[in-house]
């Protein structure tokens, strides 16, 4: 293989890299030094199976681990630059950090403040809240293809929709250019403080979770903008099915917010996924709504994997 400047670790356990703290090892973990190093790594072995991992905030790695090389971007990809109302952020920059730095510069990207994860992942899933989505603010996405070529995509190339976007297979987002509305820094900071207080009052922010477990079953347009008056929210139909606080082993649907899967201490990935599948089944039986996973589940099952 071409000489690389990043760090390659064979048979790397991933549990400590995910917010739920579950999962087996990857065949390898590669942490590239920068974009050029990442491109060289991808070109060196085109047949290598890869999985791009952010900060593990929206992820269940199954107990048997991942039969692939996990690529995890770090310090070489977390810079944030601001020019007027334009913000260029590395894919590894945390959503919350981007929101705070933008607000201090008088740029309104405040909706990102309470979204767990990194900017690259936010683009991939068209993350959003409070009626704003990445689709509203993305101006350009820089990525490296599976063949190691640099590519820049405009918003119309990404086909943004609710919790989804289209990216070339195997591509790795390296940076994103955003544009927010101008605003008074003090006003923007106050808004984020209010948002954090609301989040902490309604969500299990002190527990081991992966954010919202299921997508809202209805009430969203194809562009990903929410109809906030729609009653079919995932938490509501889970609650209606009597599953708030439901448990399987050490996995639990949060009593505080029933659309959050919680690892209460010693849960396995199989217990978490199995509980989620049980919730999907019972919600459909009770309400007729089909829930779809928002949390990404990947890897090889352990011995007690739920039946499909």
Domain that holds residue 68: 7-75
Same domain, 64 and 150: no
Question: What mean pLDDT do residues 143-154 have?
Answer: 96
- Phi/psi for 286 (5° steps) reads -85, -35
CB of 147 closer than 8 Å to CB of 43: yes
Tell me how far apart the alpha carbons of residues 306 and 275 are, in angstroms, rounded to a whole number: 9
Same domain, 70 and 137: no
Same domain, 70 and 85: no
Is the pLDDT at 14 greater than 70, yes or no?
yes
What Å distances lie between residue 249 and 19, 35, 222, CA to CA?
Answer: 18, 42, 37
Q: Which residues contact 236 (CB under 8 A, 6 or more apart)?
A: none
**Catalytic choice (113, 163, 215, 248):** 163
Same domain, 97 and 41: no
Average pLDDT of every residue of the chain:
92
Same domain, 183 and 85: yes
The reply to whether 262 falls in a domain is no
Please give the pLDDT value at position 232: 80
Same domain, 60 and 114: no
Is the pLDDT at 179 greater than 90, yes or no?
yes
Question: What mean pLDDT do residues 211-235 have?
Answer: 66
Same domain, 119 and 53: no
Please give the pLDDT value at position 231: 55
Number of domains in the chain: 2
Q: What would the pLDDT profile of 33-57 be if each residue is shown by its tens digit?
A: 999 999 999 999 888 999 999 999 9
**Catalytic choice (132, 165, 212, 254):** 212
Q: Find the CATH number of the domain harbouring 58.
A: 3.30.43.10
The reply to whether 243 falls in a domain is no
Q: Backbone dihedral region of 34: left (phi > 0), alpha (psi from -120 to 50 degrees) or beta? A: beta
- 97 compared with 232, residue with greater pLDDT: 97
Question: What mean pLDDT do residues 59-68 have?
Answer: 97
294 as an active site residue: the answer is yes
Same domain, 28 and 108: no
CB of 20 closer than 8 Å to CB of 272: yes
Asked which of 21, 56, 75 is the last residue of a domain, the reply is 75
Tell me how far apart the alpha carbons of residues 127 and 224 are, in angstroms, rounded to a whole number: 9
Asked which of 75, 93, 116 is the last residue of a domain, the reply is 75
**Residue 109 CA from chain centroid, whole number:** 17
Same domain, 70 and 106: no
The reply to whether 296 falls in a domain is no
Same domain, 80 and 183: yes
- 292 compared with 225, residue with greater pLDDT: 292
Same domain, 23 and 119: no
Question: What mean pLDDT do residues 68-77 have?
Answer: 96
Asked which of 187, 213, 234 is the last residue of a domain, the reply is 187
- CA angle 233–238–243, rounded 5-degree value: 160
The reply to whether 268 falls in a domain is no
Tell me how far apart the alpha carbons of residues 74 and 8 are, in angstroms, rounded to a whole number: 13
Is the pLDDT at 1 greater than 60, yes or no?
no
Q: Find the CATH number of the domain harbouring 83.
A: 3.30.465.10
Is the pLDDT at 276 greater than 60, yes or no?
yes
Half-sphere exposure of 158 (CA within 13 A, CB side): 32
Same domain, 107 and 22: no
The reply to whether 216 falls in a domain is no
Is the pLDDT at 308 greater than 70, yes or no?
no
146 as an active site residue: the answer is no
Q: What would the pLDDT profile of 105-132 be if each residue is shown by its tens digit?
A: 999 999 999 999 999 999 999 999 988 9
**Catalytic choice (142, 199, 294, 297):** 294
């Amino acid at each position: 293989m071409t000489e690389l400047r990043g760090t390659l670790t064979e048979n790397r356990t991933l549990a400590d890299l995910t917010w739920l703290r579950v999962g087996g090892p990857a065949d390898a973990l590669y942490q590239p030094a920068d974009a050029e190093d990442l491109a060289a790594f991808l070109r060196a072995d085109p047949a290598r199976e890869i999985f791009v991992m952010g900060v593990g905030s929206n992820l269940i790695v199954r107990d048997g681990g991942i039969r692939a090389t996990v690529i995890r971007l770090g310090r070489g990809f977390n810079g944030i630059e601001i020019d007027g109302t334009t913000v260029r952020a590395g894919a590894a920059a945390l959503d919350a950090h981007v929101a705070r730095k933008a607000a201090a510069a008088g740029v309104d990207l405040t909706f990102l403040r309470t979204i767990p994860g990194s900017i690259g992942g936010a683009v991939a899933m068209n993350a959003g809240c409070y009626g704003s989505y990445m689709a509203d603010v993305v101006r350009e996405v820089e990525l490296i293809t599976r063949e190691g070529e640099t590519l820049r995509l405009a918003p119309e190339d990404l086909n943004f929709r609710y919790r989804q976007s289209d990216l070339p297979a195997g591509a790795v987002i390296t940076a994103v250019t955003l544009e927010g509305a101008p605003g008074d820094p003090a006003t923007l900071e106050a808004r984020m403080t209010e948002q954090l207080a609301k989040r902490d009052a309604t969500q299990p922010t002190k527990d081991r979770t992966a954010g919202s477990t299921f997508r809202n079953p209805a009430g969203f347009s194809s562009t990903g903008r929410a109809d906030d008056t729609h009653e079919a929210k995932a938490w509501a139909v889970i609650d209606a099915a009597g599953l708030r606080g439901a448990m399987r082993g050490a996995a639990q649907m949060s009593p505080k917010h029933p659309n959050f899967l919680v690892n209460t201490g010693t849960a396995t990935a199989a217990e978490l996924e199995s509980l989620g599948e049980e919730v999907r089944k019972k919600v459909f039986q009770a309400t007729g709504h089909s829930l779809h996973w928002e949390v990404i589940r990947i890897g090889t099952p352990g011995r007690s994997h739920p039946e499909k």
